[in-house]
Structure 1
Amino acid sequence: MKASVYYSKNDIRYQDIEQPEIGDGDILIKMKSCGLCGTDIHKAQHQTVTGPIILGHEVAGEVVKIGKNVIRYGVGERVVTAIHVPCFNCHYCDRGYFTMCDQFKKTNLEPGGFSEYIRIPQLHVEHLTHRIIPELDWDRAAMIEPVACCLHGLKSANIHAKDSVLVMGSGTIGLVSAQLAALKGASTVIVSDLSRYKRELALKLGINHAINPAEEDLEQRVSEITAGKGVDVVIIAAGVSSLVTQAVNVVRRGGRVIVFSPFDNNPVVEIDASRLFRDEISIIGTYSLTPYEMKEAIEIVEKEKINVRDMITHTWPLSDMHEAIEFAANPANDVLKVIIKAEE
């Protein structure tokens, strides 16, 4: 079978590899669509992983083979899945911190989403894999995994009706989070981003305000929009560590700052720490998803409770992964979500 194999930043090869063998509790799917995640782009561009490796985890596909002990799925069914499974039985899992589980990152799809065929291991079959309706096209199905990630982050945000929410960064995670915030009851949703294209798309998706922080004073604009109170929730969805400082400055008393982005460069920042005690603000990190968000994400995407269709701006064939990553990583391009398609 074919796969796009990452060796280094400028060396991604579309090549033949062995099709994985499945075990008794596994299933094999033919990849139909796989989203190009911001983490995939970051890994490839910043070479934070060692090749050869096959990236990709936002997977939607068709079951083509099942293990002899699999009774839940049949050949020909349409499914989505995700990447990591917790053990449900450790110190962290017992307390609901499933993504902190030691097993979590050790579990994976084989060989990765950017391949023609993918083995879904038994644990993933049991806890992370779900059917999708025939009416849902493959590209939107590939958006279910990032929607689930955002749902996981919003659990910590504890959004109430009529809350105001600022999302810093208008990439896929930012715009999904912004729409979900509105779906959860927020009456005022603000995004900030340097990209004109992404700000305009945010407004098209129904976001109330879109701020260019290079041309407007973000803190002043947030103060104006919220009548001087600050926002109830800030979601950081861009890998710029200085945003933490700004987030602390614009969140209201008792508000919450949700950090949903890695900070590889200059991760040490200064904040007004007195606000933690005096104003009871919270700064909370969030990572990935748990099995409990997948079903909700499927319902949201299938019933079009948020608009993921207009977020998908480009598709690329599996054979052109390098070009897709280069295009998506270039800030000069009008691009949001790229979907990689298997060759027919």
Structure 2
Amino acid sequence: MLAAVYRGDSVVAVERIAVPEIGPGELLLRVEACGVCHTDLKKVEYNLLPPPRVFGHETAGTVVAVGAGVQRFRVGDRVISFHHIPCSHCFYCERGLYAQCKVYKRVGVTAGFEPAGGGFAQYVRVMDWIVERGVERIPDGVSFEVASFVEPVNTCLKAVEQLAPAAGDVIVVMGQGPIGLIFTMLLAQRGVKVIATDTMLRRLELSKLCGAEIALDPLVSDVAKAAAVLTDGRGADAVILATAVPGLVEQAVDCSRPGAKILLFAQTSSKERIELSGASICVGERILFGSYSASVDVQKQSAELVFSGKLPLDRLISHRMPLARIHDAFQLATKPTAESLKIVVNPHG
């Protein structure tokens, strides 16, 4: 089969490798769609993990082989697969911090080599503990491309649950790429007044269609002033950083009120640095926190949000590319154009 293999030194090569073999309790999926996520792009760009690996974790596909003992799935089922599932009984799981669980940190989907998601390949092996709790059926009428959003929607929904906004809150969502737009959709559904910021006009236009109250280019508009106008001068009740552009945390402090929550969502590389006035957090009583990866607690809910069509996710897909063009897909996701948004890889395209 064909796979995009990370070989180190920021190099990914499309190669022919063996189709993975499955064991008892496992599934083999034919990958029909896999979204390009910036978490994987950072792993390639910054060489965060040793090679060789096949990345890609926003995976939707068809079951083509079923291991001994699997009862819930059969050949021909259309499914999405998460790549992490927690143990549910360790110190961190008992506190809902699933991404810190040792079992959760073990990737359970692979196209070969060290498990790393494997969605940028034509077939993936889904391991037994993922099959048990981390696979959801795709209903008839839902495309594989839309279904591939279940994992990223889950990560955003988890973060929103942590943020716990109230209806009527004013929240700034910095960055209106695919993740920022999903945040805008989820918050608007809860009656939040969203101030969306981005430097690309098309993304600002989309943010309005996704429920944003105001959409601003921070290079030409005063975001802090806009937040103040909506809050009787206080500032935003919360800020979500859905992009990792340097300097945004400082801007988040400037446009938020005392006691506000500032959520870091896109700051996933250990090489990223933040410099703040301690008083802006301490004296201002702001809460600065992070949210990372998916939550099993909202797995069913995130799948239902995607499959029901309650979120206009199809609007986010700008490009569909075959595996042979994985470099173009990565380049476009890393350096988006005015027209690019969500890039979906179709390995059999």
Letter in 2 for 1:294: Q
Of residues 332-341 and 132-141 in structure 1, the stretch that sits farther from structure 2 once superposed is 332-341
CA offsets per residue over residues 100-143 of structure 1, 9 Å max, x none? 11222222311211111111111111121111101100110011
* Aligned twin of 1:232: 237
Aligned to 1:125, what secondary structure does the other structure show? helix
Whole-Å separation in 1 of the counterparts to 2:284 and 2:244: 26
CA offsets per residue over residues 151-205 of structure 1, 9 Å max, x none? 111111101111111101111111101110111221x111111222221221232
TM-score by length of 2: 0.92
* Aligned twin of 2:184: 178
Does the alignment pair 1:146 with 2:152?
A: yes
Q: In structure 2, do the counterparts of structure 1 residues 303 and 103 end up closer, same or farther at CA, with 3 Å as the change threshold?
A: same
1:203 to 208, 213, 218: 208
Identity %: 33
* Aligned twin of 1:73: 73
CA offsets per residue over residues 191-241 of structure 1, 9 Å max, x none? 111222221221232322111111122212221233312122211111134
2:138 to 129, 132, 139: 132
Letter in 2 for 1:195: M
Alignment of 1:1-344 (within 5 A): 1-8=1-8, 11-111=11-111, 112-186=118-192, 188-262=193-267, 264-265=270-271, 267-271=273-277, 273-343=278-348
Whole-Å separation in 1 of the counterparts to 2:86 and 2:101: 6
Q: State whether residues 184 and 210 of structure 2, in contact with CA within 8 Å, keep that contact through their aligned partners in structure 1.
A: no
Aligned to 2:205, what secondary structure does the other structure show? helix
Q: CA deviation at 1:265?
A: 4.9
Whole-Å separation in 1 of the counterparts to 2:195 and 2:89: 39
TM-score by length of 1: 0.94
Whole-Å separation in 2 of the counterparts to 1:326 and 1:279: 40
Whole-Å separation in 2 of the counterparts to 1:149 and 1:274: 30
Q: CA deviation at 1:257?
A: 1.2
Q: State whether residues 82 and 151 of structure 2, in contact with CA within 8 Å, keep that contact through their aligned partners in structure 1.
A: yes
Letter in 2 for 1:90: C
Q: State whether residues 191 and 207 of structure 1, in contact with CA within 8 Å, keep that contact through their aligned partners in structure 2.
A: yes
Aligned to 2:74, what secondary structure does the other structure show? coil
Q: CA deviation at 1:255?
A: 2.3
Q: CA deviation at 1:66?
A: 0.8
Q: CA deviation at 1:52?
A: 2.4
- CA-based RMSD of the aligned residues comes to 1.8
Letter in 2 for 1:168: M
Whole-Å separation in 1 of the counterparts to 2:210 and 2:325: 29
Q: CA deviation at 1:342?
A: 2.0
Whole-Å separation in 1 of the counterparts to 2:73 and 2:326: 30
CA offsets per residue over residues 33-88 of structure 1, 9 Å max, x none? 00011112223334333432211000001111111110011111111111212221
Letter in 1 for 2:164: N
Count of residues paired in the alignment:
342
Letter in 2 for 1:286: S
CA offsets per residue over residues 17-38 of structure 1, 9 Å max, x none? 1111111111111100000111
Q: State whether residues 10 and 322 of structure 1, in contact with CA within 8 Å, keep that contact through their aligned partners in structure 2.
A: no
Whole-Å separation in 1 of the counterparts to 2:221 and 2:46: 30
Aligned to 1:179, what secondary structure does the other structure show? helix
Whole-Å separation in 2 of the counterparts to 1:281 and 1:29: 45
Q: State whether residues 156 and 284 of structure 1, in contact with CA within 8 Å, keep that contact through their aligned partners in structure 2.
A: no
Of residues 12-21 and 257-266 in structure 1, the stretch that sits farther from structure 2 once superposed is 257-266
Whole-Å separation in 2 of the counterparts to 1:141 and 1:279: 41
